[in-house]
């Protein structure tokens, strides 16, 4: 992944995390990333898999959806696990683009093809691309369940 592609995915993930609910939304966020990327002419498959997190001397696993681009993980919904696991929320980053932290590992189970994905309105997807192209980096901080629930829900953008 070159620096221009990485910046595109970082901006996309930041928009997802700052504007939309991430708690229990990994499927929707992954579908959004896949469909926005497809509209830009980039193939970024939506993947169902397992997220492994090393916590002290134990390895916990979570069913999780994410995206893959050129063998690197793009995950804008990982922070949803921090909201559910407050005792070790500092182990979950806000999002992952490229190299994941050492204590986190992803395992692929299957790809979710476009026919089986939640489909977003093309105007909505184009609006996201416009936001990415004109995005100015903001300082996104960690948030809690209440703040997340005040964000837009992706189910409304069909």
Q: What confidence tens digit (pLDDT) does each residue in 77-92 have?
A: 999 999 998 888 999 9
Q: What confidence tens digit (pLDDT) does each residue in 113-141 have?
A: 999 899 999 999 999 999 999 988 778 88
Q: What is the DSSP string of 92-154?
A: S-S-EEESPPTTEEEEEEEEE-GGGSPPPPHHHHHHHHHHHHT----------HHHHHTSBPG
* Per-residue pLDDT, 16: 94
Q: Which residues of the chain have pLDDT under 50?
A: none
How far apart CA 42 and CA 111 sit, in angstroms, is 16
* Per-residue pLDDT, 7: 93
* Per-residue pLDDT, 83: 92
């Amino acid at each position: 992944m070159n620096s221009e592609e990485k910046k595109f995915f970082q901006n996309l993930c930041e928009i997802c995390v700052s504007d939309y609910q991430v708690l229990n939304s990994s499927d929707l966020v992954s579908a959004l990333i896949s469909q926005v990327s497809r509209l830009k002419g980039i193939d970024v498959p939506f993947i169902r898999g397992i997220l492994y997190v090393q916590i002290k001397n134990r390895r916990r696993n979570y069913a999780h959806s994410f995206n893959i681009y050129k063998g690197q993980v793009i995950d804008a919904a990982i922070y949803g696990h921090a909201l559910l696991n407050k005792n070790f929320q500092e182990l979950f980053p806000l999002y992952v683009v490229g190299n994941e932290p050492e204590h986190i590992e992803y395992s692929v189970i299957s790809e979710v093809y476009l026919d089986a994905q939640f489909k977003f309105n093309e105007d909505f997807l184009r609006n996201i691309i416009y936001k990415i192209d004109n995005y100015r980096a903001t300082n996104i901080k960690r948030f809690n369940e209440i703040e997340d629930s005040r964000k837009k829900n992706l189910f409304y953008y069909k």
